[in-house]
Structure 1
Amino acid sequence: MKPLLYLLSVKYNGRDGKAHMYFYDEDTHTLVDVPDHTGHLPYLLTDLKPEELIAQYPDVFTHKGFNRLEVVEKYDALNDRWFLMTKVEALDPLSIGGTQKSIREILRGHAWEAKIKYHHCYIYDANLIPGMPYTLENGKPKLVDTKVPEEIEKLIRDLVKEKRDLAEYLSWAQILNAPIPRLRRVAIDIEVDSPPGIVPNPEKADRAVIAVSYYSDDRKGVLLLKRSNDIPKLEQNDAEITVFENEKELLQAAFKIMTSYPVVLTFNGDNFDLPYLLNRALKLGLREEEIPIEWSPRSDYAEIKGSIHIDLYKFFTNKSMRVYAFGNKYREGRTLDEVSMALLGIGKVKHEEAISEMTPERLVEYSLRDAELTYKLTSFNNDLVMKLIILMMRISKLPIEDLTRHNISAWIRNMLYYEHRQRGWLIPNLEDILRLKGQTSTKAIIKGKKYLGAIVINPKPGVYFNVVVVDFASLYPSVIKTWNLSYETVRCQHKECMENRVPGTNHWVCKKRRGLMSEIIGILRDLRVYVYKKGAKSSKNEEERQQYDVIQSALKVFLNASYGVFGSEAFPLYCPPVAESTTALGRYSILKTMQKAVEMGIPVLYGDTDSLFLWNPPQEKLEELLQNILNELQIDLSIDKEYLWVVFSKRKKNYLGLLKERKVDIKGLTGKKRNTPDYIKNLFNEIVEDLSEADNVSEFEKSVDKIRDLVFTAIQRLKKHEVPLDQLAFKVALTKPLKEYTKTTPQHVKAARQLLEYRSKLGISGNVEVGEIIAYVKTRNKDGVKAVQVARIDEVDNDKYIEIMRTTLQQILDALEIDFDDLLSGKVITLEKLV
């Protein structure tokens, strides 16, 4: 049996003028380089006939990169017609575009598909699917036919009746269910001997590399530069510790390790580690052929010869991954410490001294931890991150380097471009879409938006018992499918379709053909909601359940961003009427559902984007409502949550409730914010804990009385300076060196400078490092803050903390009808005191 080869990357090789495919060999755990065998060359399309080109643009034919012309037939989806175009082929990508004298510039105004990167174009035309398994037949890649599991196929056949649609669904299921390899990989991290307060410059690379750490499944260790005559005693959990007298030899050893793995992981390696190693190696006299690192200016990332480089920094800062795949567990993902603490429960090694002043033992511990965290971010939860990456490569058709470095709009763009080529469709220019479709008809409420967004129905503040939340399953993807929304179908060219209006807008939707976006998003939505989510719950095999759950998570990332890209000016298929129609239909769906619920006598307490809070609905009426909406709107409405009680504040998107499984659910209340001082956060949590014990109205009223006392006591302790400083501390990470704060000085930076001065007085050398957590309290001094280490309890500005407490608790106290000002003035009336 031939080994499975998984396509990871496609690159253009300027030396032989060919595209090269890079496959991961599952048997040998190495990369296999397969050059193009088809003679494929870069090209663009033009609406000019060959004779018009010859007559009007002779510079095309005298261009040094010109190769040949070919007449091809393309489908123009914007105008619903097939027509002939001229394919202008060149010898290299730069001849098509990228320079001022390129063919694209010569044919400005008459060029299509001229800005697509060549390696993407090659993937489309060769029908390649990155992340999928292949075999080599006479040096040519052949896609492995994947069998769809019986239970998945059954769910699809139960769902899809049309034969043509069934083939499409099964084709996607084959892609999603194909085996996923476990990539052999190593994480790399470097440390530089820079003075305190100085961030090393990768371009200058003028300081020594004092440590390179590596971590993989089969080995881990640190390459350490000897900086003194002391012989360090180095032991670090079976790690290989190698000490070098010579920095040049250290780098050569690091390069040998990197190139011995098919995949190299870094965290911010594009911006720092790899360019620093490259430039430092050149400075030390290594020849270019001895250095495996290459900088790719056009792609703006660092490559490693013979290996694939993945920079996890860019992947984890991707907003769609942060929100939809990792449930907002971290805020931005800009530091290794933040992401690893959130996902792994372990962070970087904390230190007071500068890296350059660390002992060899301490440096080994610090450096190795960074490499370990980088590796484990891809290996936790049974290789979850690597599986997501492979699956999203398959959906987007992007190589692994591009997928991990670009945002979701690039993923969706590439997926749609690929589908255009498979169907023989012309990929339209943005100006053509805007000329025919680029208009909106609703007025935005939120500043900076171009159209009216989702609906939020204001709740009446108070506490409500027995509340059921009904939720539209993937609302926006659902309306995209049901209403046939796509850039070519909204405001189509057919007069007979103009009566098919989108409610709440002046747009219409085509009735004569199915939209590309509607078809693809519809399939992916159905597969997620009706197939893989069901399979993840029903499968009796634990491994299968995990696999299906990863698949539905990958689909979720795409689906949740699928409508928004059409409302972004940066998206090459930008079409405002599509985005506007999607939100309008979302509003229409939720208002229709609300209207139906009221007609049935079910009170609606609150609505937000794709869900409604229903007050004490009878079971039979609830089921009737769900069925009515499915029949009328073709959208699934299901029970999402059931609360014993819910407390609403006066503000939108702010509520607190106790679920039937006795878990407290908090939405948007500021007590959850990380930067809230522990004293106030703990008070908030105590309030929540008290409320969670209330099963009925009587117990709830007792909890409210207890909360009055809690808040009153907390205020009094603040006024009397009885709260320890560490309980009042704000904790903020330093995101850049202190010297770079020139225009404005945030409070944590003021405190960091005080801390630096304090350390200096104590004779402690070293700087306050980027990433260090600064703890400070609000005081009455001129700066308004003091680092905890230098503050006194009598300096605390209690009035400010009382206001922070008010802000934090206001929403929940309002809902409980507790007046904070009464508590502040000492008016505490409880049931106990009335007896």
Structure 2
Amino acid sequence: MATGFVLTRQQRDLDDSIELSYWLSTAEGPNRIDIHSEEAVCFVLTAEREAIQQRLSDLQGWRLRELSLCNLQQRPVSALYCRTLSLYRDVIARLGQAGLALMEEDIRPVDRYLMERFIHASALTVDRDGKQQLKAADYSPAFRILSLDIETTMRADRILSVALQGPGLELVLVNGEAPNEAWIRSCRGERELLERMIAAINAYDPDILIGWNVIGFDLRVLEARAKAQGLRLSIGREPQPILVDRAQNGRWFARIPGRVVLDGIDTLKGATWRFERYGLDFVAHELLGRGKAIDKVDDRGAEIQRLYAEDRLALARYNLEDCRLVSEIFAKAGLIEYLIERARLTGLPLDKVGGSQQAFDNLYLPALHRRGHVAPQYASGRSDLSIPGGFVMESRPGLYRHILVLDFKSLYPSIIRTFKIDPLGLSKGCAEGAVSDDLVPGFHGAIFSRSQTLLPEIIETLWHARDRAKAEGNAALSQAIKIQMNACYGVLGSRVCRFFDQRLSGSITLRGHQILNQTAERIEQHHGHRVIYGDTDSVFVWLGDDWPDRNTSLYGEQLAVELNRWWCEQLRERFDLDSALELQFEAHYSRFLMPRMRHSEKGSKKRYAGLKRTGKGGEELVFRGLESVRTDWTALARSFQRELYARIFHDRPYHPLIAETIECLRGGRSDELLVYHRRLRQPLEAYTHNQPPHVKAARLLEAERRQQRLPPAYTVGDSVQYLITVNGPEPLELLRSPIDYQHYVDKQLLPVADSILPFLGEGFEALAAPQIDLF
């Protein structure tokens, strides 16, 4: 018997059955568990049994078994078993073409095996009748992690060096002669470099490989160069080569038996870390305070070639430092800890990117089966309704003093808990013979059972677990739970969800609208304050510019307590329900701007700024949705906005700032702040009718690179750096024309200033005119 953490999972056909293989990280080392004689299974309507038998009559290796289960329409279902994966795919295709109902047919046997046994991350190996089996267990892994980075020619048609770094190992392999250092190895050509890299990885035997764009670049190039050299890139715990491929959504993935591959960019995004840019140098400076070990970061491709030709010791240091940066970013951001907690919570593999639907299935389906039901066909619920998104109140634009923000804690999960919103509950509530005392009304004809539910209980368990995690200081677990709780609504509102039914999502969002509106009415009618804005789960309360500002935070907390008490009374009287709604005092802004929409007198939405009070008399300048926090605005606009607002919020003179900013801009002293950064959302060739500035700039650079016979600089998702010149947009790497300073005055400074100056009775053009006249 051994207990371990599931690293990888594979399924394969044997002669007449399916084998499931799981690699576990255990205290004694890696352990492979093979589960034999498994079958693939899905569910079908028992009423369609004859049609299924007729459709599959010429096939062998499948069977139907009647069950004491039904779907959510209360129709009996049977299980359809297939002995091999190839047969299963054929069966699913035939039945789908015939229009016969299939339920849960997309769940892989290797995932279903764990899911139905409530194995989320850790498992205990047991021997039953001479066969290995797994059961749920609790285990805290100590992973062996290795950071990988490669350097190549500009065309990536030859590997120059490979760096490997982890506890107890720092190694750089160089293609050709290299300095005589203990951590550097010279290799006689690319083939020897690859052979020594393969040997080093397998000798170190990591559980996890990490890197920056490690799948889409490093492993992809290594695989291609290994093939060119006639080698098998066998860096897994089994002898077969690795698989690097691209999914339908365009994301690269890697399959290495027994080893998990984690890309730093995707992992940061999945853990909700947000950065202006995701280049390694930028993220390292933001998190670690240092960056790449290279002087010319913006032209690192050419610099790497120079270092390889002139200074291979510097190249090796640069290569190794990239590995160290990735390792330290993973540690600083707690990414491994986050993935462990996410896996324990949801059953998602460590390397799964996204996965909200699979996580929901792992939590919901086993419980649903034990209640005697199976999931419906994909997205077979109501889809003809008009369902609004999150609540956004019409704002009242202005420059205010003393705004309180009250925020409902996890509003949508709390609505699910309170109003019993649940796929099974909807099925039971709308069924014939449902007892009226057991029903809770939703929206668009939805009726929910208050006693036969699953999701409210799942949410409640997660809720209490998050409270414990926060109390214990377990930030990774708290974050994982928060993401999963919020994903429960997102999954139900997605057309690719098997439980999609607009009565479910509508009963959540419309109830949210009702709660926010009634909360605002209570505040205005009972407490006499004006609510100037509301957004999804928050209300913004204006206490008045003449508010005495004594114990304002305490007042905000007392206001939240009174409103929570009122909601408990309302829900008990109207629905006989216990309230899980929890309104909290979130912030006090001593100054606050709710801007107008551009070219309109109406107030904006999801855009505001304020001077927020913090503990011990401190304050913080906060921006939401404005230029200061938008990466598609220049650094000039962002810095100008922050300084301008700070002066106005503190009642300090701001006219000199405007004059100085324009003078520095026109004098060429702000050129480094004028670079735009915009991401390519699709391939360059896909931009046909509409060609925004960053696309025009990117095409100029790509044309230049084609002339030099260099590979493309951009792929989907890459950020284009460019400036606006008198001849239009030009890439930063290929700047040839004078900068169009008037563009930056009109398109960057003016919109920023005129979002706040009109509330002071002034306008940017009038204030800027004296400066303009000087030039």
Q: Provide the TM-score with structure 2 as the length reference.
A: 0.81
Q: State how far apart, in whole Å, the 1-side matches of 2:52 and 2:453 are.
A: 36
Per mean C-alpha deviation after superposition, the further-off stretch among 370-379 and 643-652 is 370-379
Q: 1:287 to 1:730 in 2, by over 3 A?
A: closer
Q: State how far apart, in whole Å, the 2-side matches of 1:343 and 1:598 are.
A: 43
Q: 1:258 to 1:717 in 2, by over 3 A?
A: closer
Q: 1:72 maps to what in 2?
A: 67
Where structure 1 has 5 or more consecutive residues not aligned to the other structure, the ranges are 146-177, 201-206, 443-450, 537-544, 695-699, 829-835
Q: 2:145 maps to what in 1?
A: 185
DSSP-derived class of the 1:329 partner? coil
DSSP-derived class of the 2:56 partner? helix
Instruction: Kindly state the Cα deviation for residue 587 of structure 1 after the two structures are TM-superposed.
Output: 0.6
Q: 1:347 to 1:65 in 2, by over 3 A?
A: farther
DSSP-derived class of the 1:470 partner? strand
**CA RMSD between the two structures:** 4.0
What does the per-residue CA deviation read over 1:745-782, in whole Å, with 9 as the maximum and x for residues that have no partner? Answer: 65457667888999999xx99899559987654332x3
Q: 1:582 to 1:248 in 2, by over 3 A?
A: same
Q: State how far apart, in whole Å, the 1-side matches of 2:679 and 2:525 are.
A: 55
Instruction: Kindly state the Cα deviation for residue 550 of structure 1 after the two structures are TM-superposed.
Output: 1.9
1:708 matched to 2:655: yes
1:686 matched to 2:687: no
Q: 1:47 maps to what in 2?
A: 45
Instruction: Kindly state the Cα deviation for residue 63 of structure 1 after the two structures are TM-superposed.
Output: 1.9
Instruction: Kindly state the Cα deviation for residue 730 of structure 1 after the two structures are TM-superposed.
Output: 1.1
Residue type matched to 2:184 in 1?
I
Q: 2:108 maps to what in 1?
A: 117
Instruction: Kindly state the Cα deviation for residue 354 of structure 1 after the two structures are TM-superposed.
Output: 6.0
> Alignment partner for residue 81 of structure 2, among 89, 108, 112?
89
Q: 1:150 maps to what in 2?
A: none
Q: State how far apart, in whole Å, the 2-side matches of 1:288 and 1:606 are.
A: 58
> Alignment partner for residue 257 of structure 2, among 275, 297, 305?
305
Q: 2:540 maps to what in 1?
A: 613
Instruction: Kindly state the Cα deviation for residue 258 of structure 1 after the two structures are TM-superposed.
Output: 2.8
What does the per-residue CA deviation read over 1:335-362, in whole Å, with 9 as the maximum and x for residues that have no partner? Answer: 5455545444444442261644542334
DSSP-derived class of the 2:523 partner? helix
Q: State how far apart, in whole Å, the 1-side matches of 2:108 and 2:765 are.
A: 62
Residue type matched to 1:609 in 2?
T
Q: 2:589 maps to what in 1?
A: 643
User: Is the Cα contact below 8 Å between 1:94 and 1:102 reproduced in 2?
Assistant: no
Residue type matched to 2:255 in 1?
E
Q: 1:575 maps to what in 2?
A: 501
User: Is the Cα contact below 8 Å between 1:467 and 1:643 reproduced in 2?
Assistant: yes
Q: 2:11 maps to what in 1?
A: 12
Q: 1:607 to 1:741 in 2, by over 3 A?
A: closer
What does the per-residue CA deviation read over 1:623-664, in whole Å, with 9 as the maximum and x for residues that have no partner? Answer: 322321244341111111122232222222222222222112
Residue type matched to 1:690 in 2?
R
> Alignment partner for residue 629 of structure 1, among 553, 557, 567?
567
User: Is the Cα contact below 8 Å between 2:700 and 2:730 reproduced in 1?
Assistant: no
> Alignment partner for residue 742 of structure 2, among 798, 815, 818?
798
Q: State how far apart, in whole Å, the 2-side matches of 1:601 and 1:738 are.
A: 55
Q: State how far apart, in whole Å, the 2-side matches of 1:295 and 1:747 are.
A: 37
Q: 1:565 to 1:675 in 2, by over 3 A?
A: same
Per mean C-alpha deviation after superposition, the further-off stretch among 744-753 and 632-641 is 744-753
DSSP-derived class of the 2:592 partner? strand
DSSP-derived class of the 2:302 partner? coil
DSSP-derived class of the 2:485 partner? helix
DSSP-derived class of the 1:456 partner? coil
User: Is the Cα contact below 8 Å between 1:461 and 1:814 reproduced in 2?
Assistant: no
What does the per-residue CA deviation read over 1:784-817, in whole Å, with 9 as the maximum and x for residues that have no partner? Answer: 5585985687x53325423320112322324444
> Alignment partner for residue 342 of structure 2, among 392, 397, 419?
392
Q: 1:155 maps to what in 2?
A: none
Q: Percent identical across equivalent pairs?
A: 20
DSSP-derived class of the 1:562 partner? helix
Q: State how far apart, in whole Å, the 1-side matches of 2:524 and 2:420 are.
A: 29
Q: State how far apart, in whole Å, the 2-side matches of 1:80 and 1:755 are.
A: 61
Q: 2:327 maps to what in 1?
A: 375
DSSP-derived class of the 2:527 partner? coil
1:353 matched to 2:299: no
Q: 1:95 to 1:751 in 2, by over 3 A?
A: closer
Q: 2:367 maps to what in 1?
A: 419
User: Is the Cα contact below 8 Å between 1:647 and 1:816 reproduced in 2?
Assistant: no
Q: State how far apart, in whole Å, the 2-side matches of 1:506 and 1:498 are.
A: 18
Q: State how far apart, in whole Å, the 2-side matches of 1:406 and 1:681 are.
A: 31
Q: 2:601 maps to what in 1?
A: none
Q: State how far apart, in whole Å, the 2-side matches of 1:773 and 1:301 are.
A: 21
Q: State how far apart, in whole Å, the 2-side matches of 1:285 and 1:806 are.
A: 60
Q: State how far apart, in whole Å, the 2-side matches of 1:816 and 1:653 are.
A: 22
User: Is the Cα contact below 8 Å between 1:397 and 1:418 reproduced in 2?
Assistant: no
Instruction: Kindly state the Cα deviation for residue 465 of structure 1 after the two structures are TM-superposed.
Output: 2.6
Residue type matched to 1:463 in 2?
L
User: Is the Cα contact below 8 Å between 1:479 and 1:582 reproduced in 2?
Assistant: yes
User: Is the Cα contact below 8 Å between 2:399 and 2:759 reproduced in 1?
Assistant: yes
Q: 1:280 to 1:607 in 2, by over 3 A?
A: same
User: Is the Cα contact below 8 Å between 1:439 and 1:577 reproduced in 2?
Assistant: no
Q: 1:72 to 1:250 in 2, by over 3 A?
A: same
Q: State how far apart, in whole Å, the 2-side matches of 1:361 and 1:210 are.
A: 12
What does the per-residue CA deviation read over 1:496-525, in whole Å, with 9 as the maximum and x for residues that have no partner? Answer: 57996757x433322354332232123323
Q: State how far apart, in whole Å, the 1-side matches of 2:54 and 2:96 are.
A: 13
Instruction: Kindly state the Cα deviation for residue 472 of structure 1 after the two structures are TM-superposed.
Output: 0.5
DSSP-derived class of the 1:8 partner? strand
Instruction: Kindly state the Cα deviation for residue 256 of structure 1 after the two structures are TM-superposed.
Output: 2.1
Instruction: Kindly state the Cα deviation for residue 20 of structure 1 after the two structures are TM-superposed.
Output: 1.7
> Alignment partner for residue 221 of structure 2, among 263, 271, 276?
276
Per mean C-alpha deviation after superposition, the further-off stretch among 478-487 and 213-222 is 213-222
Q: 1:559 to 1:825 in 2, by over 3 A?
A: same
Counterparts of 1:380-779 in structure 2, within 5 Å, are 380-381=332-333, 384-401=334-351, 404-430=352-378, 433-434=380-381, 437-440=382-385, 442=386, 451-490=387-426, 492-494=430-432, 505-511=443-449, 513-528=451-466, 530-533=467-470, 535-536=471-472, 545=473, 547=474, 549-603=475-529, 604-616=531-543, 618=555, 623-633=561-571, 634=579, 635-650=581-596, 651-661=604-614, 662-691=619-648, 694=650, 700=651, 703=652, 706-715=653-662, 718=665, 721-732=666-677, 747=693, 776-779=722-725
Q: State how far apart, in whole Å, the 2-side matches of 1:722 and 1:106 are.
A: 69
1:23 matched to 2:24: yes
Q: State how far apart, in whole Å, the 2-side matches of 1:783 and 1:722 are.
A: 20
Instruction: Kindly state the Cα deviation for residue 95 of structure 1 after the two structures are TM-superposed.
Output: 1.2
User: Is the Cα contact below 8 Å between 2:7 and 2:207 reproduced in 1?
Assistant: no
Q: 1:310 to 1:423 in 2, by over 3 A?
A: farther
Q: 1:514 to 1:234 in 2, by over 3 A?
A: farther
1:132 matched to 2:122: yes
1:216 matched to 2:162: no
| Matched positions, count | 714
What does the per-residue CA deviation read over 1:352-387, in whole Å, with 9 as the maximum and x for residues that have no partner? Answer: 616445423343234323333333333224xx2112
Q: 1:173 maps to what in 2?
A: none
What does the per-residue CA deviation read over 1:262-294, in whole Å, with 9 as the maximum and x for residues that have no partner? Answer: 222244444343343334323322368796533
Q: Provide the TM-score with structure 1 as the length reference.
A: 0.76
User: Is the Cα contact below 8 Å between 1:483 and 1:509 reproduced in 2?
Assistant: no
Where structure 2 has 5 or more consecutive residues not aligned to the other structure, the ranges are 544-551, 572-578, 597-603
What does the per-residue CA deviation read over 1:437-466, in whole Å, with 9 as the maximum and x for residues that have no partner? Answer: 3332x4xxxxxxxx2122222333333333
What does the per-residue CA deviation read over 1:146-196, in whole Å, with 9 as the maximum and x for residues that have no partner? Answer: xxxxxxxxxxxxxxxxxxxxxxxxxxxxxxxx5532311112223333xx4
Instruction: Kindly state the Cα deviation for residue 221 of structure 1 after the two structures are TM-superposed.
Output: 1.8
Q: 1:244 maps to what in 2?
A: 187
User: Is the Cα contact below 8 Å between 2:725 and 2:737 reproduced in 1?
Assistant: no
> Alignment partner for residue 232 of structure 1, among 156, 166, 178?
178
User: Is the Cα contact below 8 Å between 1:8 and 1:23 reproduced in 2?
Assistant: yes
Residue type matched to 2:41 in 1?
Y
